[in-house]
């Protein structure tokens, strides 16, 4: 992570004790995805700034693999376990990052005591579950409204997602953008050996290899070149069998990942369920233009100088190939993790003294 700017916000005066923040999340290591990268980067910066951050995650509890997605672990907790952990911590602010079992338990505990908390909308949850169950997304929106309804603020990354949530009756929205590590992702990243001799143009996808990422739309689109998939997930085996001409590299991190981005002619983002898409700005930082569908995430990040969006993905790829790579790098530089972390801080709901007392009042809830 790029930590060249380590100046703490003005709100943290020298004589002020570090603010204590509890973050409850069902998405955490060893998962590799945008939510985990966002939360872990935010936690690292907050700690460097002097904040006391505690993460409540599945690794602290017995867990089981999620149906159809074993890489995701679902925490199994006894009644009141998350509440007792929050009571022991007694943080100055509670942030519930995900709508899974741990998020549900923390929401129940806080709401039952009148303790304010904030949430975040990281994933198009109704669409995500719809792709996995075959049920319409409308079936799952009541849960989203119920889950986020009591939050003091719901943090969202883009304006298009804010508009969608407003349309669902969630209006207590706060902006929380994302950033990119420019020290790690740059056009100078060395090209991995696996990509050095591939026939061009190289068309790249990076991310989870799962049905909700719509990767098949990328692999089946009619555009010449070599299609490369970086990442792993439950759909990898079936996609490798169906598209033997594609190159599947598995997971890549650090300099190897940056090199994959830098070696590509176009980065293809076929997902229609993401709320942002960190991989897009990582690709742009490496000078690689982006092709995508005109949906939430791409419409908020891309412009006509750094990428192309079209309902026909092959047309978007062809257009993206004409974009200037230097413009892509310059655009990515406008996304700062430090600025995003300050937005997160500003969106929190600090607890009053009496609310801290209520948080400590442990019962069986």
User: How far, in Å, CA of 312 to CA of 222, rounded?
Assistant: 10
Lowest mean pLDDT among 11-15, 213-217, 267-271, 286-290: 11-15
Q: 129 falls in which pLDDT band (50, 70, 90)? A: confident
Strand partners, 76: 62
Peptide bond connecting 30 to the previous residue in cis, omega within 30 degrees of 0: yes
Q: In what order do the strands lie in the sheet with 266-269?
A: 247-250, 226-230, 202-206, 266-269, 290-292, 307-309
How much is the pLDDT for 363?
54
d(CA 312, CA 206): 20
- Say what the pLDDT of residue 235 is: 95
Name the H helices within the chain: 34-48, 81-89, 101-113, 125-133, 141-148, 159-167, 193-196, 215-219, 236-242, 254-263, 278-285, 298-301, 313-320, 325-332, 337-347, 353-360
Residue of 243 and 359 predicted with greater confidence: 243
pLDDT tier for residue 47 given thresholds of 50, 70 and 90? very high
Question: What's the average model confidence in pLDDT over 30-47?
Answer: 94
Domains, in order of start, for the chain: 20-179+338-360 (3.40.50.2000), 193-335 (3.40.50.2000)
Average the pLDDT over each of 17-31, 183-197, 344-358 and give the range with the smallest value.
17-31
Taking only the tens place, the pLDDT of each residue in 54-108 is 999 999 998 887 776 677 778 888 879 999 999 999 999 999 999 999 999 999 9
* pLDDT category of residue 5 using cuts at 50, 70 and 90: very low
pLDDT tens-digit series, residues 177-203: 999 999 999 999 999 999 988 999 999
pLDDT tens for 239-255 read 999 999 999 999 999 99
Confidence class for position 123, pLDDT limits 50, 70, 90 = confident
Enter the tokens of residue 137.
């997304």
Q: Which residues pair with 324 in a beta bridge?
A: none
pLDDT at 341 over 70: yes
In whole numbers, what is the pLDDT of the chain averaged over residues? 91
Is the pLDDT higher at 23 or at 62? 23
Categorize the per-residue pLDDT at 328 as very low, low, confident or very high, splitting at 50, 70 and 90.
Answer: very high
DSSP track, 78-134: -TTHHHHHHHHH--SEEEE--SSHHHHHHHHHHHHHT---EEE--B-HHHHHHHHH-
Residues paired with 274 in a beta bridge:
123
| Residue 243, both tokens | 């598209």
Orientation of helix 278-285 relative to helix 254-263, angle to 10°:
70
**pLDDT tops 80 at residue 175:** yes
Q: Give the residues across from 22 on adjacent strands.
A: 54, 94
Q: Is the pLDDT of residue 362 over 80?
A: no
pLDDT band at 365 (very low <50, low <70, confident <90, very high): very low
**Would you state the structure tokens that stand for residue 354, as one six-digit string?**
């009496």
Q: Which of 101, 89, 105, 120 is nearest to 22 (CA)?
A: 89
> In this predicted structure, what is the pLDDT of residue 4?
34
* Predicted TM-score (pTM) above 0.85: yes
The reported pLDDT for the residue numbered 69 is 65
Answer whether 211's CB lies under 8 Å from 241's CB.
no
Helix (H, G, I), strand (E, B), or coil: what is residue 361?
A: coil
Q: 2: pLDDT confidence band, cut at 50, 70 and 90?
A: very low
List the structure tokens of 331: 């655009």
Instruction: Return the structure tokens found at 105.
Output: 């338990």
């Amino acid at each position: 992570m790029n930590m060249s700017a380590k100046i703490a916000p003005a709100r943290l005066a020298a004589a002020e004790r570090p603010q204590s923040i509890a973050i409850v999340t069902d998405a955490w290591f060893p998962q590799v995805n945008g939510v985990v990268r966002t939360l872990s980067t935010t936690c690292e910066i907050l700690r460097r700034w002097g904040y006391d951050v505690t993460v409540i995650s599945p690794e602290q509890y017995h867990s089981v693999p999620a149906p159809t997605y074993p890489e995701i672990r679902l925490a199994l907790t006894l009644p009141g376990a998350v509440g007792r952990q929050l009571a022991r911590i007694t943080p100055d602010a509670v942030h519930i990052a995900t709508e899974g079992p741990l998020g549900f338990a923390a929401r129940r505990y806080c709401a039952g005591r009148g303790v304010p908390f904030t949430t975040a909308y990281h994933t198009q949850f109704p669409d995500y579950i719809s792709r996995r169950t075959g049920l319409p997304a409308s079936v799952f929106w009541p849960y989203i409204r119920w889950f986020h309804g009591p939050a003091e603020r719901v943090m969202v990354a883009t304006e298009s997602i804010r508009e969608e949530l407003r349309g669902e009756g969630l209006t207590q929205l706060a902006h929380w953008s994302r950033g990119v590590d420019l020290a790690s992702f740059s056009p100078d990243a060395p090209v991995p050996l696996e990509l050095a001799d591939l026939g061009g143009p190289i068309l790249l996808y990076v991310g989870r290899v799962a049905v909700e990422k719509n990767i098949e739309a990328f692999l089946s689109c009619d555009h010449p070149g070599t299609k490369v998939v970086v990442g792993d997930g439950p759909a990898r085996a079936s996609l490798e069998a169906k598209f033997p001409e594609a190159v599947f590299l598995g997971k890549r991190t650090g300099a190897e990942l940056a090199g994959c981005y830098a070696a590509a002619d176009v980065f293809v983002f076929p997902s229609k369920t993401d709320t942002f898409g960190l991989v897009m700005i990582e690709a742009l930082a490496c000078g690689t233009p982006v092709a995508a569908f005109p949906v939430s995430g791409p419409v908020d990040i891309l412009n006509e100088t750094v990428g192309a969006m079209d309902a026909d993905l092959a047309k978007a790829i062809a257009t993206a190939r004409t974009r200037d790579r230097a413009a892509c790098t310059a655009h990515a530089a406008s996304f700062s993790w430090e600025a995003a972390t300050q937005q997160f801080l500003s969106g929190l709901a600090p607890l009053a003294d009496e609310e801290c007392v209520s948080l400590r009042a442990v019962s069986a809830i």
